[in-house]
């Protein structure tokens, strides 16, 4: 071939290479902190027992996303606290495998993270946080090129960013990336966590403050939550206002232009929130593994993924392997599985994460714990010295002599027999005070 002809062909080849679209889609992983599955209208009800307090759809953006992808009707968090649950999502390992008893205990070295895997696979990785519960010292930032923990709100040593700020900074990060570069974006929305005080006028309930929660907690413990039901409904409404506010900001994020290869979107809740289901513990989440605290939304949307609803119970441990498979990486990750085509899910262990009664060994050994599979679950609370409780995932009672219940209980006992040793951690004074305010550390 003559040199002249070669020079003529070279620009054509370069033009073809430049015009060839990227093969990697963008990936958005969106975390809805403290969000019960039944707070999302697509799940068909809300904490007040209806779709919401006025029969309206309060989460139109998340509902639309759910209808365009796969919605897991019964997804469960393995731990009802922010750090432990997110660590599970990022590693595909449950709380025992991670030895993370609760917030404030950093992810140990040697655990591969989702961001590390995706970065090695060719994605730019960026994160925008809504709470200091996931700040850099907690170790879940590994593998991220950018980790934005700019916080504007301080509540008793806990630092937060509003949903509007999270979306603004996430959009700025998307706009700043090189043209055509695929991005893995992790956006963490923390607003649904108490106190419930969404910006702007409330649609469903008056904003709450810690004093109100303290007063209603005392009333529930003394006479049952029914004695203050009108105020409880207002608190539920204030919580739904926060969820509705986050939905509007998630919608703004999802309205951003798609990359040339499309977009994978995964939305999950890290844990739920009690809103009067337990009179002794009417609010919060860390002390319980009941569905109110562990049943969370989970949605997958991806190019070529057929929409549908999966009724089989699944756990957040399997989020990362499923996401990686959708992104083209089918190698094993953590101890999770790819949920594609799942018929009957594996057993899903769960463990409360607030300081409990002293017990030898693992920090949470005496705390409430449970196991879920299919449509059944078993819950034990050693610190209450109560027998195992069997129920369906929707809260209805299951007979204890059901062979499936007994199999679940045996699985739970086996999981508890393999707990890690007690773990101590050193924290600075500000971190300890912030976690103590949330009930996540001992006095």
d(CA 154, CA 159): 5
Residue that wins the pLDDT comparison between 111 and 55: 111
Q: What is the reported pTM?
A: 0.90
Domains detected in the chain: 22-348 (3.40.720.10)
Which pair of structure tokens corresponds to residue 189? 């929305």
Q: Going by C-beta distance under 8 Å and a sequence separation of 6 or more, which residues neighbour residue 264?
A: 25, 26, 27, 28, 300, 301, 302, 303, 323, 326, 327
Give residue 267's pLDDT.
98
Q: At 343, is the pLDDT very low, low, confident or very high (cuts 50, 70, 90)?
A: confident
Q: At 342, is the pLDDT very low, low, confident or very high (cuts 50, 70, 90)?
A: confident
Residue range 4-22: average pLDDT?
39
- pLDDT tens per residue across span 42-68: 987 544 444 444 567 889 999 999 999
- Residue 267 pairs with which residues in a beta bridge? 30, 299
Residue range 288-313: average pLDDT?
95
pLDDT at 141 over 50: yes
- pLDDT tens per residue across span 199-256: 877 777 788 888 999 999 999 999 999 999 989 988 988 999 999 999 999 999 999 9
d(CA 425, CA 3): 68
pLDDT at 365 over 80: yes
Q: Helix, strand, coil: what percent of the chain each, to 5?
A: 35, 15, 50
- Cβ burial of 17 (10 Å; 0-12, 13-18, 19+) is exposed
pLDDT at 337 over 60: yes
- pLDDT, averaged across the chain: 86
């Amino acid at each position: 071939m003559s040199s002249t002809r070669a020079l003529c062909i070279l620009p054509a080849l370069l033009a073809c290479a430049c015009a060839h679209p990227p093969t990697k889609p963008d990936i958005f992983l969106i975390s809805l902190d403290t969000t019960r599955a039944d707070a999302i209208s697509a799940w068909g009800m809300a904490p007040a027992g209806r779709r919401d307090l006025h029969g309206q759809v309060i989460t139109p953006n998340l509902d639309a996303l759910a209808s365009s992808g796969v919605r897991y009707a019964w997804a469960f968090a393995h731990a009802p606290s922010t750090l432990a649950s997110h660590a599970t999502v990022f590693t595909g390992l449950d709380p025992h495998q991670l030895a993370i008893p609760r917030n404030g205990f950093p992810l140990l070295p040697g655990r591969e993270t989702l961001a590390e895997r995706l970065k090695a696979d060719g994605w730019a990785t960026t994160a925008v946080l809504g709470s200091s519960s996931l700040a850099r010292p907690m170790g879940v930032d590994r593998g991220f090129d950018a980790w934005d923990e700019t916080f504007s709100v301080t509540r008793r040593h806990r630092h937060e960013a509003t949903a509007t700020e999270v979306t603004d900074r996430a959009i700025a990060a998307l706009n700043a990336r090189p043209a055509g570069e695929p991005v893995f974006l992790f956006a963490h929305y923390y607003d649904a966590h108490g106190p419930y005080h969404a910006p702007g006028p409330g649609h469903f309930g008056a904003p709450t403050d810690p004093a109100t929660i303290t007063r209603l907690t005392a009333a529930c413990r003394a006479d049952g939550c029914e004695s203050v039901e009108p105020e409880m409904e207002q608190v539920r409404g204030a919580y739904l206002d926060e969820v509705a506010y986050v939905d509007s900001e998630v919608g703004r994020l999802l309205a951003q232009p798609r990359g040339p290869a499309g977009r994978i979107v995964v939305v999950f809740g890290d844990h739920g929130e009690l809103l009067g289901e337990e009179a002794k513990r009417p609010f919060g989440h860390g002390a319980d593994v009941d569905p109110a605290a562990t049943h969370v939304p989970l949605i997958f949307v991806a190019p070529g993924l057929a929409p549908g609803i999966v009724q089989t119970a699944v756990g957040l441990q399997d989020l990362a392997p499923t996401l990686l498979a959708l992104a083209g990486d089918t190698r094993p990750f953590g101890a999770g599985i790819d949920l594609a085509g799942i018929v009957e899910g594996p057993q899903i262990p769960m463990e409360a994460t607030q300081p409990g009664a002293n017990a030898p060994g693992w920090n949470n050994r005496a705390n409430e714990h449970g196991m879920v599979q299919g449509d059944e679950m078993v819950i034990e609370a050693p610190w209450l010295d109560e027998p195992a409780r069997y129920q369906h995932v929707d809260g209805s009672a299951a007979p204890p002599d059901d062979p499936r219940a007994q199999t679940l209980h045996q699985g739970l006992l086996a999981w508890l027999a393999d707990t890690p040793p007690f773990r101590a951690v050193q924290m600075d004074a500000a971190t300890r005070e912030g976690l103590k305010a949330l009930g996540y550390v001992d006095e």
